[in-house]
Copies of this chain bind each other. A is one copy, B any other.
């Protein structure tokens, strides 16, 4: 299959920055589902590779998790859910500016900071 442009899981891992383990996890999350060969091997085509790369960028840029994107996908597919969530959010009662994002934003930022800290400690333990 030297001429084919579908990569196996290890090859796809190298060119996308995911680990093989994570490619399987991403698949189970429903976000990138590669074709399968007759014998069950995952086959990543150009489209899947691109999606995997942009997915990485999305997660890193906004500090969101796979589960968040999975939920967005679920909302995309489930009209009832999408509508219910939209209605609840639309009913932002009275002062949406009361939120001010003060406390909440600070909390979010601290969470991300904690994340960054642990990541830095892992990559530069000294």
Chain A contact residues, CB within 8 Å of chain B: 28-30, 33, 35, 47-48, 50-51, 54-55, 58, 61-62, 64, 67-69, 71-73, 75-78, 80-81, 84-85, 88-89, 91, 93-94, 98-99, 101, 103-104, 107
Contact = CB atoms under 8 A, between A and B. Distances in A.
A89 B71 contact: no
A36 to B, nearest CB: 11
B88 A47 contact: no
Nearest to A57: B84
A72 B75 contact: yes
A71 B73 contact: no
A89 B73 CA distance: 7
Copies of this chain per assembly: 2
A88 B58 contact: yes
Given A48-B93, A88-B69, A81 B54 contact: no
Given A48-B93, A76-B89, 20 more contacts: A30-B99, A33-B99, A47-B94, A50-B91, A51-B88, A51-B91, A51-B93, A54-B88, A54-B91, A58-B84, A62-B81, A62-B84, A64-B71, A67-B67, A68-B71, A69-B85, A69-B88, A72-B89, A73-B89, A77-B101
